[in-house]
Structure 1
């Protein structure tokens, strides 16, 4: 008889799985329920779980994390994944390499039954193996199960410099961990760099994709090789450690295998990825070989979805033309927007042909390009963040120099936003000219913002905000200033009565005009006329 564990944070989903299959027919004698990773671990500590059905998306620890723990602590348990995420259909094949199966919710119960039946058969095989072997053989099998984890941890520590690379220290570490690596055995490190994902991934999605990348490497790169360390060094960096005898000197075959791996990652996981092949080295030399590959990655930034050999790139640096940012700045200032877009794209495209494009070239371009844009913003009296937004954040600029493709995307976005902002401001200036002209022509009338908005075909609220932003005044304030300026001219330069002056600037009520005039000028109309004429030496 067998024991089953169902792990899902959704109670109704657990009940559906629990009631959807006739478990007695599969010799399942007991079903345990857990709603999170902690509960599942507690059950494993109290009961011998043969088969685990586990949801991927759960609070307090994902199904991927739980499976990793189960593999380390309970290697005889067979696991089945459930998930609602149909957008990861492309990962199904890769995930099946490591787990018993990967099924989408709502699960079809006859399919689930078949998968569990297969799991029962596998568990039964393991039981038979266990009973037929001596205790020593059993523990040997457990060690074999854990050996890949120990191997990867060893290589990670070597490349991360946590493990000393002195030959004596390497020898001691291999002996203490009983790892099957000989001092005279050579290895070929291959750096796998995920340059970008088609869509931004959540933390849970990243873990799922790491699992998929690893299993795809098992299937395509290793192809049944007994030792297959695929070490994650950081977020987007992995290292495959290939034994020297794996392919011998057949470099073209290795390139073909890695090209197939890249193509599979492009197709199924929607990411751009490149592989950097290093030099052969003994175990104590792998750390320096890894450092060399990191430098190679940082200095071949114009290649994507490609296989790059260390020996090919040595000394292959090409000449980079110096760009004339002052010419591009003039283009911006003169409004030659299409020309600068074309010039920028042409220059960055030319870098694609450079054999050995160093990181410093991209960094210099980004700094000079930003300096040019900032000069233009200063010339226009604009705030950089208002124009570019998050494109000038440290995170975005750091990402922009990761590769030539990233830089082209960033430069195109920054320039397009700048041009769009410039054109919008030009349109705004044209609108302001029309508004001011309309006010000037109708200053002798009582005009409202609705009248002006109809004239320029804008919503009154939007026009008010735009006018305030462009002039620093509200429309009402501007109209008042215009009326008072004309009134002052009429009071000092003509003999019109105050009543006629009021009428000339759109006020039919003499008293109200006098009140508004005094509020604006600090004198009533008659006082202003006398003071102005006296100052000019004229008779009041």
Structure 2
């Protein structure tokens, strides 16, 4: 938990922040602010939970500060301190949902009690958000999507530990267990093409319902629409049968075809697999079933076929490491360079396992890798040749794909250049933002140069801008603005005859008294004393 103390009287802020046992309440960090505006800047860049504020301050009262805080984060708890037992202030504080209204000086029991009450409210609210009931409700609402994604990931080759599989099957309420299963892939034929942009999802949903009704009597059913557009069903017989699962699947598949044609006026083609061990053999059998669909390139439609009949004709199997999620392009896009490097090593290792003579596999891997690299470069507004330089030549000549060793060497070298080239670009982009911010502040020091105003100027979120500026300069945005204001004030005091209140206005302090207070806190002397050459002793 983080807390901020706000008061224009510095001794109150310093005293309350340093002399109270905040750590015993679980407060990890206590921030200090000497004005409401400074408090708002801190709130925009830090996860503040509790605000303790004076009620009467220049520029903005504590009540007005609560109103501004509510616009930013309604969960923050506010406690008001006041030197006056004014009923109207207390009533306004309560109307703005302040936790408490304390008179200065508060006793430790009063102050710590108010903060404890605020912490209790926060804990109760967050426990409600993260409660088991709410989590279970959210899970139920998203269950179809979660079930589908789990099966889709498994079809693509994602491997989970046995205990993780057991946990997910149970928590998602899936009827499938480890053991013998079969797959069934359904392809909607051209009669349904007219619905592609209007009603396609309803048709697919109807087919899934019909399939679950037909197969559900004999088997547990788990379905998803996979990437090629096939409706995919994982089936597990509820009872053993003398005729075998293959015969049952063929019979039920024919029923599915008949009902789709009768009620939806269209045809479907179906490929089934022989029984296999779930989940270990799921991805392999799925790939075989998809390959079976690809091999039927003629006019044949409305068929039911076993994938095993086609396996003998599949001379080359796809590269599992190349196509298993997450893809190489996704890893590079996410900046996961080490994972991308491991992916390339895995691809080359699988190529070696399949035999060095498999030039087509090497060519396939090379094209996918080069395509991922080019896509990444173009997404970042650059050409691939500008990032990888001389490594472009073996790519263009095809030399990079001539052998597994050459592919490994080329792809790993090009990956390093991609990483280094875009890292420099990120730094350059940060420098551009810093330059824009500093130029804007220098020209508009007398106006609103809060973090939010600066973020709006460069079209970034305030939190992101704050982190970016800190990384690039080592200084916070608000620290830079405050420092520039003080340095400008010093320069104007020494080089001009302007009044103190004029300088105060020109550097963004509307209240000269507050400017004098801030200046003295910074330099130990008032602006006038500084102009006269006096220094602290």
TM-score, normalised with respect to structure 2: 0.29
| TM-score, scaled relative to structure 1 | 0.29
Q: Which has the larger radius of gyration?
A: 1
